[in-house]
Structure 1
Amino acid sequence: MASLIGLAYQGFSWLSKALMWMLYAGRPSRLRDSLEAAGIRIYPEAYLSAVGLFLVISAAASAAIIWLTGFLPVAIAPIIVLLIGYALPSIKAQDRAAKLDMEAPFMAAYISVMATGGLSPYSSLKRLKNCELLPHTSKTAKLMEVDVHLRGMDPVAAIEKSAEKVPSKEYREFLLGYVHTLRTGGDVVHYLLTRTEVMFRDLAAKIRAFGERAAMLLESYVAIMILSTLGISIVYLTSIAFQGYWQGGFTAENFLLYAYILTPVISMLFIYLSDLSSFQEPIYETAPYKIYAASLPLMIFLVLEMFLIYLVPELALVLPFADQFKGFLTFLRSALGLERGFEPSLGMGIALIAGTIPAAVSHSYYNRRRGRSIVSEVTNFLRDLTEARKTGASPEACIDQLSARSYGAFSKHLRIVARQLRWGQPLRVMYETLRRRISSWFALINLYLLVDATEVGGGSPETLETMARFGEMQASLEKEKMAALRPLIIMPYIGSAIMVFSTLITINFMYSAVMSISRTAIPFAQIITIIVPALVFQSYLMGVVTGKISTGNVSAGFRHAIILTIVTLLTIVSMRFFRLILPI
């Protein structure tokens, strides 16, 4: 990346000056502030040189495409590149601010607990520079250490500078308040504890508000999908039914453009809107996404073999196994009692399900590893540990005693840790062991806090009491989050069934009406081939978006996507079984 920026600056520095005047009125300080807030450590001139490089490349590519194909809309590509280059620092700054706002209460809890053990906030932040559980706070702490050790700033001034430059309001107010309290001679520990409690209360209010926004987003998405699909289907059916009287009507190509281009764009837009307002943990499992990417070739192959050969029959002549797949789908369609034309719908459903099952299984595995109840069990363990520590026993002895108690899914992990401590392993090994066995971020941040509090302050009862209180606040946040999002799950299932039911009923009505009025048949098999696979695909997308909005992770939507695809196929078969789809 650095070599690319250097190459761009060497060859396009002249263009960066023009862009600076055009976009920022010749004031580099505006861009410099935006880049610093976004965490992009590049000089403004070098950044605009890179934008200029991509601008020239996009302009050349657009000119070549227009010259070869005559497709004029591609001429807007350079404008899009310029707008992206202008907006990228602001978007990155907003994203960084949102993530730091989420991490700020837990960073404050860590600093407050360490302060009760006698450690200064600057020393606490230094200890966080290698904490992978708070990645954005860790990056900020590293920059703060650079200011102290390389630029000679005193720690308090470095904290003040970091707070002023960071785009997060929560982070800035917490650290600036500490600096002010320290300089005026106030009670720093009391300020840290009080301010942290306020931050957790504010975070709880944000989570409740997120539940309301998520419900609104999901309701809007389901309504848009149902109404737009039904409306476009009616327009397409009308165009087919009256094609002898309506020249230049809504064609199959128009419908396919809506179903497979516009619908995914709408879904991605709602995923992005959900990401902007969601409560996301700083770390998450990436294995389901890697597995999904690895299974995409299988999905694409099956879509080609089981769906696209019906839209483009010429593909059957060049694709291997095309006849075998067509024979299988014909047999399956006959066994289910469906009419001719439903084969590509079944093929689309099978392809999507087969390509998503590995990722859904992976997500379920890591979800079980997280343990839905493990956060509350870890919180109960910390409270019991605090009370046991008040008897005067060492933290290691308290952990050994509590390992005999039942803490649900956490018990098996606790027994392993207690055995390691009895073998003389240091307390830090406890966290490393649990880090490999547990993926719940809320549980891990509490355990990380326990280990550091014990190492710094000896695990005094006062320190552990503070830590347990903040842990209970975190557990309460997790419960509120789950309670706010749980009712949203049922909405897309009902919406998908309504979408399929209403569209198929409309197709049957149009077919019957045209047959009874004009005594002419419309190509029923062609209509089913065009419309119904799109319903299956849209139900799949609804599942992915549901997982993102309801949990904050796209990987959670893989399971919903599979189930919604199955629900769609079952709805089609059930309608034929109950004769809601007329035999043709």
Structure 2
Amino acid sequence: MHFKRPKIFGWLLKLYGREDTSEINRELPFAALLFTLLSASGVSIYESWKKLCSINLLPTFQKESREIVRQVEVLGYDPLTVMYRRANKTKSKNYREFLLGYVSSIRSGGNIVNYLKSKLRSIFEVQSASAIRSIEKLGTLVEAYAVMLIVTLCSYILFIVFATTSVFEPMKTSGTPGISTEVVCVLIFFVTPIISIVFMALAHTERKSNLVTVKQPYYATIVPLIAVSSFIAALYFVPQLEYFKGTEIFPLVTTICLLIISVPPAIVYMRITRVSNDAENAMPNFLRDVTEARKIGLSPEKSIIHATKRSGYGQFSGTLNLIRSQMEWG
């Protein structure tokens, strides 16, 4: 009798080793931009891959560049051969076309800079169209989330109104089962936040944030979450805290606990976004200052150093000062 082999382990290995094409497609425009700038500066493709190994803001391409450098330096393959093999192995259509086009342009003797510029333009156009579609889907998701919040709030208000009046009295006298206050509190203060988390997860899956490798808000949540969890557990095991489980005080306690968990990561995230927004707003002025310095005859390095000494860049000034210090130190 022939028995089929269990496929669960093979499926798990395949799932674990599956390539995340969404991350590659998200990082591809920025990696292509770096390749274009380095190629226009006279840097070879292999040196460009080596420089990508030290860029932590592109973790997927950092891993890819390390693999390419390993095959070149350890196994002795040619960089173009490695790129051709990686193109045939990857599941990302955009990344495959980028690698194959680069290899074909090199082997046919074409202009690499022109190819990279045209490819970069097409990649950003595709990303822009994808962003527009994602925003439309997010609009539908936000509308559904708003409807859910409105329905929940209206239900809670109706329950409070009915509970404070004599509407429930006939039901109590006739023995008709009703909704207890504890059930309503659980629905409002526990089920609703869980549904909100589900909506946020769906929104994050549909359109990921441009802030890459931002983990500080999650770290800021750990201590408040542990403290609130310990307090909630103590409510059920410490008799002296029985007062906080009362019908009148428990919703207030739950609200305070949720605020304690939410406020620290919100503050950390606001600080990060403030720096990011200042950088985006100050970048045109910074580039204008660099251009003006170039017009008076300064070298590119001197132009950048001269522009970083000016004020008015907001929180972005700290990053510019770091750039100036590293350039002055060589």
With the shorter chain as reference, the TM-score category is: 0.7 to 0.9
Give 1:376's aligned residue. 281
Measure, in 2, the Cα distance between the counterparts of 1:374 and 1:110: 19
Q: Say if 1:99 and 1:282, in contact at 8 Å, map to a contact too.
A: no
Q: Which amino acid aligns with 1:361?
A: I
Q: Deviations over 1:29-52 (max 9, x none)?
A: x877655433xxxxxxxxxxxxxx
Give a deviation string over 1:139-171, Cα, whole Å, max 9, x none. 011112223233333211211222232333332
Match for 1:164: what amino acid? N
Q: Which residue of 2 aligns with 1:37?
A: 18
Q: Which of the pair has the greater relative contact order for Cα pairs under 8 Å at 6+ separation?
A: 1
Q: Contact between 1:147 and 1:153, CA under 8 Å: does it hold in 2?
A: yes
Distance between the aligned counterparts of 1:419 and 1:248, measured in 2?
73
> 1:438 — aligned with what?
none
Q: Of 201, 218, 236, which residue of structure 2 is paired with 1:289? A: 218
Maintained 8 Å contact 2:38/2:48: yes
- Residues 181 and 191, structure 1, Cα contact 8 Å, conserved in 2: yes
1:260, distance to aligned residue in structure 2 (A):
6.0
Q: What is the one-letter code of the residue matched to 2:329?
A: Q
Distance 1:124 1:247 in 2: 75
Structure 1 residues 6-44: Cα deviation after superposition (integer angstroms, max 9, x where no partner): xxxxxxxxxxx8322xx59xxx6x877655433xxxxxx
Matches within 5 A, 1:442-461: none
**What is the Cα deviation at residue 385 of structure 1?**
2.3
Correspondent of 1:185 among 106, 109, 122: 109
- Code of the residue aligned with 1:122 in structure 2: it is Y
**Do structure 1's residue 349 and structure 2's residue 255 form an aligned pair?**
yes
* Cα 1:417–1:244 shift into 2, 3 Å: same
Give 2:329's aligned residue.
Answer: 425
- 1:261 CA drift (Å): 6.0
1:575 aligned residue: none
Cα pair 1:103 1:137 within 8 Å, conserved? yes
Q: TM-score, normalized by length of structure 2? A: 0.79
Q: Number of paired residues?
A: 321
What's the secondary structure of 1:130's corresponding residue?
coil
Give the corresponding residue for 2:310: 405
Letter in 2 for 1:364: M
Q: Does 1:211 align with 2:140?
A: no
Matched, 1:366 2:258: no
Q: 1:318 to 1:343 in 2, by over 3 A?
A: closer
Q: Please list every run of 5 or more consecutive structure 2 residues that lacks an aligned counterpart in the other structure.
A: none
Contact 2:152 2:188 in 1 (8 A): no
Aligned pair partner of 1:162 in 54, 67, 86? 86
Cα pair distance change 1:413/1:264, threshold 3 Å: closer
Give the direction of change, closer, same or farther, for the CA distance of 1:415–1:286 in structure 2 (3 Å limit): closer
Residue by residue over 1:318-367, the C-alpha shift from the partner in whole angstroms, topping out at 9 and shown as x without a partner, is 245x55x68xx9xxxxxxxxxxx532222222232234333333333334
For residues 417 and 123 of structure 1, the distance between their equivalents in structure 2, rounded to whole angstroms, comes to: 22
Task: Assess, with a 3 A threshold, how the Cα gap between structure 1 residues 393 and 145 changes in structure 2: closer, same or farther.
Answer: same
> 1:201 pairs with 103, 125, 137, which one?
125
Picking from 34, 37, 40, the partner of 1:116 is 40
Q: Which residue number in structure 1 is paired with residue 70 of structure 2? A: 146
| 1:355-411 deviation digits (Å, cap 9, x = unpaired) | 43333333333344x242212313432354255346553233213332443442134
User: Partner letter of residue 272 of structure 1?
Assistant: A
Q: Do the aligned residues in 2 keep the contact of 1:36 with 1:165 (CA within 8 Å)?
A: no
**Cα deviations by residue, 1:203-247 (Å, 9 ceiling, x for unpaired):** 223333333222221111121233356569979979986356576
- Taking structure 1 as reference, are residues 99 and 217 closer, same or farther at Cα in structure 2, changes over 3 Å only? same
Moved more, 142-151 or 154-163: 142-151
1:269 aligns with 2:198: yes
Q: CA RMSD in A?
A: 3.7
3-state SS of 2:50 partner: helix
Q: CA deviation at 1:117?
A: 1.4
Deviation at 1:97, TM superposition (A): 1.6
Matched-pair contact (CA < 8 Å) for 2:221–2:264: yes
Aligned to 2:29: 105
Tell me if the contact between 2:189 and 2:255 (Cα under 8 Å) persists in the aligned partners.
no
Kindly indicate whether the alpha-carbon contact (under 8 Å) linking 1:303 and 1:347 is maintained by their aligned counterparts in 2: no
Report if the CA contact (8 A) 1:239-1:250 is conserved. no
Please tell me whether the aligned partners of residues 292 and 356 of structure 1 are also in contact (alpha carbons under 8 angstroms).
yes
Asked if 2 retains the 8 angstrom alpha-carbon contact of 1:128 and 1:141, the reply is: yes
CA distance in 2, matches of 1:281, 1:126: 24
Specify whether residues 138 and 117 from structure 1 end up closer, same or farther in structure 2 by C-alpha distance, changes over 3 A only: same
Q: What SS does structure 1 have at the residue aligned with 2:53?
A: helix
CA 1:275–1:418 in structure 2 vs 1: closer, same or farther (change >3 Å)? Answer: closer
| Post-superposition offset of 1:193 | 0.6
Cα distance in structure 2, aligned partners of 1:413 and 1:282: 16
Post-superposition offset of 1:107: 0.3
Please state how far the C-alpha of 1:264 moved relative to its aligned partner: 4.5
The amino acid of 1:274's aligned partner reads: A
1:408 aligns to what SS in structure 2?
Answer: coil
CA–CA distance in structure 1, aligned partners of residues 317 and 259 of structure 2 = 36
Residues 317 and 32 from structure 1, CA distance in 2 versus in 1: closer, same or farther, beyond 3 angstroms?
closer
Q: Work out whether 1:18 is the aligned partner of 2:18.
A: no
